[in-house]
Amino acid sequence: TEKLELLYEGKAKRIYKTNDPNILLVSYKDSATAFNGEKKEEITGKGRLNNEISTLIFEKLTANNIENHFVKRLSETEQLVKKVTIIPLEVVVRNVVAGSLSKRIGIEEGTAIKEPLVEFYYKDDALGDPLITEDHIALLAVATKEQVETLKTLARRVNEVLTAHFLSCGVRLIDFKLEFGITEDGNIILADEVSPDTCRLWDINTDEKFDKDVFRRNIGSLTEAYEVILTRLGGQS
Ligand code: C5P
């Protein structure tokens, strides 16, 4: 597969066209951003870590029959994915109260949630990705009621697979964000990335944080934290 022109550049990834119209190339960047781009830093090695971790996670999901856009890892920082039309929603699943949920409803960070909570945020930088309800989704017409049900079902299935997998690696999956896309034939599949940039991952014994909160909160080395996740998932660090 040939890497052709740059299609899109985001905060953490670049997306290139390839000579196959149904396949895109994702290149993970060495930049870390938080708070809608307000906090920014170049971190050598971050792109490789997220590419490797995302690869292992997508492979795990594929092995568990959860359809996703991942095709293959190409290099240390690149992977090939299926071309989809991204649904402009961030689907967040929470097993433990943390981050914005803790702030919004005043429950202490670390409090377990009995039934995994699924939330939708509207992907819009100018609006700051607001939390929205299913009625707002209908009003915006970004997904049908049926598609919203599919998103919730898929998000819960991803949660079951990843919670169990991380637990077997000594890691608690606190919460995470997913994005979905629609394929040429109208199927909804998991897309974007699943990495310590998009998940909260705590050590099961010590609650040590191995995710982007290390960067957001200035509480240690991002690459050291992500290396721990890569190693525990069985990857080469
Ligand atoms: O900030 P908040 O607590 O709502 O984040 C919930 C989860 O979603 C966290 O794991 C966070 O890393 C992820 N997230 C993300 N991209 C965003 C917002 C949240 O990956 N734009």
Going by the DSSP 8-state scheme, the letter that residue 20 receives in this structure is S
Please identify, by atom number, the ligand 1 atom nearest to the C-alpha of residue 213.
12
Which pTM value belongs to this model? 0.98
Q: Are 71 and 183 in contact (CB under 8 A)?
A: no
Residues with CB under 6 A from ligand 1: 90, 92, 98-101, 129, 175-177, 198-200, 212
Task: Name the DSSP class of 193.
Answer: -
| Cβ(5)–Cβ(167) below 8 Å | no
The answer to whether residues 210 and 203 touch, using CB atoms and an 8 Å cutoff, is yes
Over residues 111-135, the mean pLDDT reads 97
CB 203 within 8 A of CB 166: no
pLDDT of residue 237: 79
175 with 91: CB under 8 angstroms?
A: no
Q: What pLDDT digit, counting tens, does each position of 113-122 carry?
A: 999 999 999 9
Q: Taking the CB of residue 234, how many other CB atoms lie within 10 A of it?
A: 8
Mean pLDDT for 213-224 is 98
Average pLDDT for the chain: 98
Distance CA 226, CA 211 (A): 7
Residues 94-115 have a mean pLDDT of 98
Q: How far is the CA of 199 from the centre of ligand 1 (A)?
A: 7
pLDDT over threshold 90, residue 84: yes
Distance, CA of 27 to CA of 34 (rounded, Å) = 19
Find how far residue 146's CA is from the centre of its chain: 23
Please say whether the beta carbons of 200 and 213 come within 8 A.
yes
Q: Ligand 1 centre from 100 Cα, in Å?
A: 8
